[in-house]
Structure 1
Amino acid sequence: MGAALGSALKPAAGAVIWAAAGRSNATSKRAELADLVGVPDLASLAQRSDVIVSICPPHAAVEVAEQVAEALGDRPDRPVYVDANAVSPDTVRRVGTVLGAEHVVDGAVIGPPAWEAGHTVLLLSGAAAGAVAGLLRGSPFEARVLGTELGTASALKACYAMQSKAMPAVWLAVAAAARGYGVQDALGDLLARDGVDLTAVLDKLEAQAGPKAWRWVGEMEEAADTVAAVGVPDGFSRSAAEMYRRMAQERGTGS
């Protein structure tokens, strides 16, 4: 996603840099193919950038913001910081506390890495949301400004993720319980009468979620925090987080 966003920003920015220290060969290759310029570390990036985009696992969002704040030091012309992570409104407001709310834009991506138009939306809110949307005009990302309040974009992303990630996780729980009681085949037969191919459903979910299950854990926890903050039961997302945690453990993957 970072490579795709960087590529989308190039026409307006001219040059897009990224912090290369400690990143994998695969990440470096994606950045190279997107024609992004690697700099040694986050400090170099922070001092040279007019706009900084954070794309990281949800649990690291605040830590990355703190590292950027430290790297900026006493730089007088503060860059715009786009937190484009799948976090709760409270988390993005914490980022605003770290970097100054007036400099932070709440961003949320709906869809896959965008290399062609029509598939991916970037939700934006915050004081500088309109300016960031302008940088992406004509790019494969459809930028939608939701207002000036931090947390609005993240709230919408969390609600969307409830149906795109929490609801499918019910099938993981159903299948796990059926296996535990030794009735998975019988369950599959019953579901087939209703037009549901359980094996196909699970195979599709494995293909979609499997490689990213460890990352979806954090997203579901943040979604749970989001709904809980407005008095909505958060058990759906907490349970989804646990099912994806188990999936990641079975695959031997993690952050």
Structure 2
Amino acid sequence: MHPGAMGAAVGSAVKPRAGAVIWAAEGRSQSTSKRAELADLVAVPDVAALARRCDLIVSICPPHAALEVAEQVAAALEGQAKRPFYLEANAVAPDTVHRIATLLGPDRVVDGAVIGPPAWEPGTTVLWLSGVAAKTVGALFAGSPFEARVLGADLGAASVLKACFALQSKALPAVWLLLAEAAEKAGVTEALYGELAHHGVDLTAQLAQISARASTRAWRWAGEMDEAAETMASLGLPDGFSRAAAEVYRRWSAEGFNSD
């Protein structure tokens, strides 16, 4: 749907089997257009034009926009006999996936979780899939840089897996940011760094690592942590870890963070 770094890689991955991959150009930036061009994706005017032509629609966007994008697709397909498959590949809560399935049909929606970076070579990234049509959609990625694995027919399973993975990849690193800020405000930074070093933790390295990973993506990670919190809550589990991480990344996005 929107070829950012991940979307362009996914579009390129399915092109050998799809024959042609199109994207909705309306309102997108020049850098997005360039990425799409380099990935050999074909522009169409808008989401409506895309929805009416596709056999498979892949949604990759910021988590907070996933439902809105699905609503745009549903509006475009209203009254159409052809119902494409819809791969919801965003880091969203299972409840969000089920709401999208209500809009587009539970037999047409596939829940997807990308774990790993945008893949241009095999061996780095797995695309987990769940839903009735998971095997059908997964087959399109055979031989591609994305290793498609099917979790089963239950919608939401892939999203739960993604949320669990995100807790260790994004919520845990947020703890380093939080304790570093707390120590600085309390004037105990030197003592904290010393104690952590004594126990084998290099806080400077930890902060530098997360800064490199999230410096331009903190706003997006906040949305992902919001969805992870909804996932935990839906399972009857504590959701405070994710909500705190979302707040840390939201503040970082607004105020910036200095890892020095």
2:190 & 2:35 partners in 1: Cα distance? 42
Aligned to 1:169, the other structure's residue is in SS state helix
| Structure-1 residue corresponding to 2:177 | 172
Report 1:127-142 matches (<5 A). 127-142=132-147
1:122 is paired with a residue of what secondary structure? Answer: strand
C-alpha distance in 2 between matches for 1:178 and 1:71: 52
Amino acid corresponding to residue 114 of structure 1 in structure 2 = A
Q: Give the C-alpha shift of residue 185 in structure 1.
A: 2.0
**Matches of 1:160 and 1:192, distance apart in 2:** 27
The alpha carbon displacement at 1:182 in A equals 1.4
- Name structure 2 gaps, 5 residues minimum: 1-5
By how many angstroms is 1:190 displaced? 1.7
2:3 alignment partner in structure 1: none
Kindly provide the amino acid, as one letter, of the partner of residue 178 in structure 1. A
Write the distance in 2 (CA, Å) between the matches of 1:172 and 1:250.
13
Q: How far, CA to CA, are the matches of 1:227 and 1:98 in structure 2?
A: 24
Q: How many residues are aligned here?
A: 252
1:250 aligned to 2:255? yes
SS of aligned partner of 2:152: coil
Question: Secondary structure at 1:215's aligned position in 2?
Answer: helix
For each residue in 1:134-182, what CA deviation from the matched residue of structure 2 results, as whole angstroms up to 9, or x when unmatched? 0000000000111111101001111111111111111011001001101
CA distance in 2, matches of 1:205, 1:144: 28
- Matched residues in 1 for 2:89 and 2:220: separation? 14
Task: Provide the rounded CA distance (Å) in 2 between the counterparts of 1:175 and 1:93.
Answer: 39
Name the counterpart of 1:125: 130
Q: Which amino acid aligns with 2:53?
A: R
Give distance in 2, aligned partners of 1:120 and 1:250.
32
Paired position in structure 1 for 2:148: 143
Report the AA paired with residue 141 of structure 2. L
Residue of structure 1 equivalent to 2:44 = 39
Q: Which residue of 2 aligns with 1:226?
A: 231
Distance 1:55 1:210 in 2: 20
Q: Which AA in structure 2 matches 1:121?
A: V
Matched, 1:154 2:159: yes
Deviation per residue, 1:197-223 (Å, 9 max, x gap): 211110110111111110011110111
Give the structure-1-normalised TM-score: 0.97
- Of 78-87 and 224-233, deviating more is 224-233
Match of 1:77, SS state, is: coil
Distance 1:97 1:62 in 2: 11
Q: Which residue of 1 aligns with 2:209?
A: 204
Unaligned 5+ runs, structure 1: none
For 1:31 and 1:183, locate their aligned partners in 2 and report how far apart those are by CA, in whole Å.
Answer: 49
What is the one-letter code of the residue matched to 2:59?
A: S
**Residue by residue, what CA displacement relative to the aligned partner does 1:93-125 show, whole Å, maximum 9, x if unpaired?**
000011111110001100000000001000101
Equivalent position amino acid for 2:202 in 1: D
Q: Work out which of the residue numbers 182, 187, 199 in structure 1 matches 2:187.
A: 182
Determine helix, strand or coil for the equivalent of 2:128: strand
Scaled by the length of structure 2, the TM-score of the pair is: 0.95
2:11 maps to 1:6: yes
2:100 matched to 1:100? no
Calculate percent identity across the aligned residue pairs. Answer: 67
- How far apart, CA to CA, are the structure 2 residues paired with 1:241 and 1:134? 35
Distance, in Å, in 2 between the alignment partners of 1:36 and 1:239 is: 38
SS of 2:163's equivalent in the other structure is helix
State the Cα distance separating 1:38 from its structure 2 match: 0.8
Give the Cα–Cα distance (whole angstroms) in 1 for the partners of residues 248 and 46 of structure 2. 35
Shift of 1:29: 1.1
Offset, 1:226? 0.6
Secondary structure of residue in 2 paired with 1:62: helix
SS in 2 for 1:207: helix
